[in-house]
Amino acid sequence: AGERGFRRVRTVILEIGELAAVEPEAIRFCFSSVSEGTLADGARLQVVQVAGQGLCFNCHQAVPLAALYDPCPACGGYPVNPTGGTEMRVRELEVE
């Protein structure tokens, strides 16, 4: 805030991957408490869920991945290396 010169955070857009082991509802529930007394006090939280994706070492396909350590939905093989949906990051801030 000091570097960029903003006074208040109005909106936080947070990306949470389906494989990130983070419960979006828990984040929503806690957001107002953890932001109280900060520049984000009263800010709106928007959570964008990112689908899980992986690369199968058996059939070498990029596949959707519903859970870590699941078999490849294309060939049934293992292992499937997660390539997306494991992140949790602030994608965007709307500030004043």
Model pTM greater than 0.85?
A: no
Q: How many residues does the chain have?
A: 96
Give the 3-state DSSP-derived string for 34-86, with helices as H, strands as E and coil as C: HHCCCCCCCCEEEEEEECCEEEECCCCCEEECCCCCCCCCCCCCCCEEEEECC
At the topology level, CATH places domain 9-95 in hypothetical protein PF0899 fold (3.30.2320)
Instruction: Return the domain boundaries, the chain.
Output: 9-95
**The pair of three-digit structure tokens given for residue 82, joined into one six-digit string:** 């997660």
pLDDT of 4 above 90:
no
The tens digit of pLDDT for each residue in 30-70 reads: 999 999 999 999 999 999 999 999 999 999 999 999 999 99
pLDDT at residue 2 in the model: 82
pLDDT at residue 3 in the model: 87
pLDDT band at 1 (very low <50, low <70, confident <90, very high): confident
CA distance 8 to 27: 20
Mean pLDDT for 74-80 is 96
pLDDT of 26 above 90:
yes
